């Protein structure tokens, strides 16, 4: 495969979403495709790349229905300065959607089909909420399994991400106290990074009508303490340990990255953030969705002949505290290398946008620490995991 370079990454700040109280969402009146169009325009302005030079745009979205249906990725292109020549597509791989979009761009450049590709993702969890409402409206289909498939799935659990987290915590022996402590860690690290200005260079301020430009992640709570989290009731099961405090908050936002071939880098004078080396996904039991990171990472390391100790930094999505905790223990990851600037428990988790956020923040963190290798990974609803390997240039 030809070398592929990550040359640009930015995102919106992540807002607090609430389907029943739309006013709490800074992006209340901003459809997700409009956010993406703004990011596309900003990428062209920042890099100086002509709109006609972009060969490809891949977009991830977990709930690509209603206004988030993008006509195969064309709607964001139509609203932006991007030239009509760019091929587009929408990818649904749930929480791994924009990492899958990055992978498509990587493969397209790696095989020589394209020279410059954009990959991103978006989710508006106020305007297009996840959950029972979309099933009731008939917008989402209800999975049906043939009677004679020879498999047994607990679909009542598999379709409820909180219950899958409960299953994983119970099976792995991860306690409520451990999960709450990890949530506090996430908020503290994210707040420290925010105060130090780390996120400033990756967030594009959005001029939300009637407000100051929205440029700070809205869900970070620096005063989060284990004692306070311990008072929260279980969110998904009366006898469970998964609460709103150790789950990622609902949020809205978008993220975008640019990748180039070696020839395009040399021609444009771009300064790469990282080289994109490999991306692997792997399936697991749907009702144990949160463990999907582990088989994906194991396969990625085996294919690239690396070990856990070779990896300098990790960004593992904090859909729930139990996900990175399980991966940390199962893989033997040094805690100091894991989510050094916090994660989705504090920053938010706009489903389709998260993958590129993980990869972009990882690349910037490797630049900061002068590490060599980093892995960005996420579990995926339905029973999958995805993992991306990058190398600092």
Task: Name the residues annotated as catalytic.
Answer: 95, 349, 379
Burial 273-306 (b: 16+ CB within 10 A, else e): bbbbbbbbbbebbbbbbbbbbbbbbbbbbeebeb
> What SS3 class is residue 302?
helix
Tokens of 120: 């991103």
- Locate 193 and state its tokens: 């990074």
- Residues 118, 257: Cα–Cα separation, whole Å: 6
- 283 strand-pairing partners: 384
Give backbone dihedrals phi and psi of 285, rounded to 5 degrees, phi first. -60, 130
| Nearest residue to 189 (alpha-carbon basis) of 365, 18, 308, 328 | 365
Torsion angle in degrees (nearest 10) through CA of 342, 347, 349, 354: -70
Nearest to 99 by CA among 275, 344, 354: 354
Alpha helices in the chain (DSSP H): 32-47, 74-78, 97-110, 132-136, 155-158, 161-172, 176-195, 226-229, 262-268, 293-304, 322-331, 344-347, 354-369
């Amino acid at each position: 495969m030809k070398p592929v370079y990550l040359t640009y990454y930015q995102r919106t700040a992540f807002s607090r979403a609430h389907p029943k109280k739309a006013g709490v969402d800074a992006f209340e009146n901003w459809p997700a495709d409009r956010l993406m169009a703004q990011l596309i325009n900003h990428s062209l302005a920042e890099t100086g790349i002509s709109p006609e030079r972009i060969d490809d745009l891949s977009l991830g979205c977990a709930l690509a229905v209603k206004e988030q249906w993008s006509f195969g990725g064309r709607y964001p292109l139509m609203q932006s300065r991007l030239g009509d020549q760019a091929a587009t597509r929408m990818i649904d791989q749930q929480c791994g959607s924009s990492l899958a979009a990055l992978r498509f761009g990587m493969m397209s450049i790696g095989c020589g089909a394209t020279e410059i590709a954009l990959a991103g993702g978006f989710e508006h969890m106020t305007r297009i909420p996840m959950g029972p409402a979309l099933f009731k409206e008939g917008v989402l289909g209800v999975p049906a399994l043939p009677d004679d498939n020879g498999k047994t799935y607990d679909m009542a659990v598999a379709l409820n991400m909180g219950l899958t987290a409960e299953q994983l915590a119970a099976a792995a022996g991860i306690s409520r106290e451990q999960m709450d402590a990890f949530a506090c860690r996430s908020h503290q690290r994210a707040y420290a990074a925010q105060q130090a200005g780390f996120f400033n260079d990756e967030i594009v301020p959005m001029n939300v009508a009637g407000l100051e430009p929205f440029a700070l992640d809205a869900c970070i709570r620096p005063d989060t303490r284990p004692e306070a989290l311990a008072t929260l009731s279980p969110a998904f099961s009366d006898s469970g340990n998964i609460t709103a405090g150790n789950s990622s908050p609902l949020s809205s936002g978008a993220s975008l990255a640019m990748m180039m071939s070696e020839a395009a880098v040399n021609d444009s004078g771009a300064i790469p953030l990282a080289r994109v080396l490999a991306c692997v996904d792997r399936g697991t039991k749907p009702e144990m969705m949160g463990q999907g990171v582990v088989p994906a990472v194991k396969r990625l390391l085996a294919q690239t002949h690396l070990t856990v100790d070779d990896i300098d930094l990790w960004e593992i999505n904090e859909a729930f505290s139990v996900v990175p905790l399980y991966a940390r223990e199962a893989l033997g990851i040094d805690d100091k290398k894991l989510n050094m600037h916090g994660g989705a428990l504090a920053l938010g988790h706009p489903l389709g946008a998260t993958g590129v956020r993980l990869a972009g923040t990882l690349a910037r963190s490797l630049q900061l620490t002068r590490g060599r290798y980093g892995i960005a990974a996420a579990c995926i609803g339905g029973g999958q995991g995805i993992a991306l390997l990058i190398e600092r240039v």
